[in-house]
Amino acid sequence: MENREKDYKAHVLAIPFQSPGHINPMLQLRKKFIRKGLKATLAITKFTSNVMYTKSDIVQIDIISDGYDEGGFFVADPVPISMARFKEVGSRSIIELMTKYESLGTPIDFIVYDSLLPFVLEFCKEVGLPGVAFLTQQCGVNYIMHQFYHGKLSNPVSEFPISIQGLPPIESADLPYFELEKEVTILRCFVFLLLTTAKFSSLTINWYS
């Protein structure tokens, strides 16, 4: 279908990591894009659409599949397996979504994705679209993770308060909870993020909590 004349600068597809703490910052970023004259679509999974209130009067919301439509991403398989399935099924689902908007005359111009989903960058390169990673965690959390990853902090932490340049003294209750060995799976997921950060072509950061 031939594209009709646009009343917007570009159509942005946003693909968040499927949890409230990641969806909400992505949603707020989309609203900023709209105020700048862009068209924005937020892609959530079928499972997320069934368990969360995700309506918005400003941002268009559409559905993709991550391969876990019934039970959700976290309860089915270990994270590495879930991520691999999200990559396989999600990539096909995103293609279907792009085809839909192409047929409607409002094709996707670029994709913003959660930095915990680095496979989306590979997808963008394959389909020839610009891809921008968004670190949805507050920047202070990312900085603390950076300290753990580079061995400047030990896990678990043995002494408090922790002193990190640029941050106030950090007590046990101030740390991301998964750094206290309460959620090793999420910690590994963030380590995977840090291993792939250098591959991002573009990067945006959440400066606010």
Is position 22 annotated as part of the catalytic site? yes
Helix (H) / strand (E) containing 86: helix 79-103
Residue with tokens 């678990």: 156
In angstroms, rounded to a whole number, what is the distance separating the alpha carbons of residues 82 and 167?
A: 34
In angstroms, rounded to a whole number, what is the distance separating the alpha carbons of residues 62 and 41?
A: 7
Q: Which of 7, 66, 109, 114 is catalytic?
A: 114
Is position 114 annotated as part of the catalytic site? yes
For residue 1, how many other CB atoms are within 10 A of its CB? 9
Q: Which of 7, 22, 66, 150 is catalytic?
A: 22
Spatial strand order in the sheet of 60-64 = 60-64, 39-45, 11-15, 110-114, 131-138, 203-206
In angstroms, rounded to a whole number, what is the distance separating the alpha carbons of residues 150 and 144?
A: 10
Structure-derived torsion over alpha carbons of residues 7, 12, 16, 22, reported in degrees to the nearest 10:
-60
- Write out the catalytic residue numbers: 22, 114
